[in-house]
Structure 1
């Protein structure tokens, strides 16, 4: 690995939102200039709510501070094998917190790629079908070894898991597949699909959004210990270096030895 991840810390989520907005829109601008679209993968948990707080606020009206949802293509970094209207669905969470609240006349409408409900009974088939969606968007499989998302937005579990990649799980060793299935998730529901670690590491930019004093212990592990570097979040820090940014709050970093910033 080259440089270390960037860590941004704020008194609370409200104070974080403007900087998170600035960060996401900078990636939006760069991506649209690069290839005309902004391809984003998102996780669940508290992330959609925080993202909505950042993106749905009124900007200053300048092009650099305008969300252009018409150019967004939104995928899921992981998803639970449940119906799209189920309380455990990351799609439902994103829809409720963000998608349903977008002023489409003003900001446009993103293209969203949920899982297909007809494959819910078979996690592997669900993963295979979702991978086919990625192949159709990111080019033919024989010409692209890995898809490159412009931005991958992740959470961090209290055990250091991210997406549905769990500590010491065999899925962490997968090197070829883009989308993996898991049927024995340590957290319910057991059946899920997830981006593979190589796909996450290949992202142009990766951002973790994790806040609260409850994250303090796992942050100490990830940023201060060898064992923490072997956790899924630690592996992403190690493998992607300064492509990674952490957006967190002072409570989560209290007593944690890591250089932090308050602005981009």
Structure 2
């Protein structure tokens, strides 16, 4: 199944599950190098582990073996997108469509294409893509999937809502964007992805100058909840850029390092101290 999961970031070690999956797949690929599915799953593992070159190599081999396989083209496009290579991402999508025209109806195609269009300034076209995606049966909560490979996970359905809300905001359609966020809150209440919607809602409050309301929403997120790191980073950003409060900015990263000790949060704390030094240096030079 295609996925828009994000790869490991700097300072984050690969999941033991990914390492185990790679150990299982490697001998299969050695024994049967012409089977496309093991290559595809290895590409997923490598991508999520942050090995983009290795993932791309496996996917190119997949596409050589089975040019009509939409999932391989879509994962390759997602890898290019995550690296900001928008021309290559578009080319991968269009190559996939040239081999399998039905790929244009694939929800991942619409989502990735919309992301590329947004990054290249084509907001109206991006919005149209996401509205098409929103109309798909796969976007309905609890929709029967029947094991289809083109179904969307909860995380990916949330991404569609949030991308559409952001596009509407960028286009000045604040009322419509607010409605999309409210629909998302209702649709994904009590799911692990609910926190992402909280963050998006906080961003919307910030755009309206409601800083304290945004911070209040974010403070309710606890360390044991998903996306806690992203929430604390968002709070820190508000304290530094909006409140101009360097102490509370650093306090967010200190709390992160204390609540979730590890290489990644230590790296984030170190980066935060360096950023504060840069701020002080810029202020003293003025």
- What is the TM-score with the length of structure 1 in the denominator? 0.30
Q: Is the strand fraction higher in 1 or 2?
A: 1
- What is the TM-score with the length of structure 2 in the denominator? 0.29
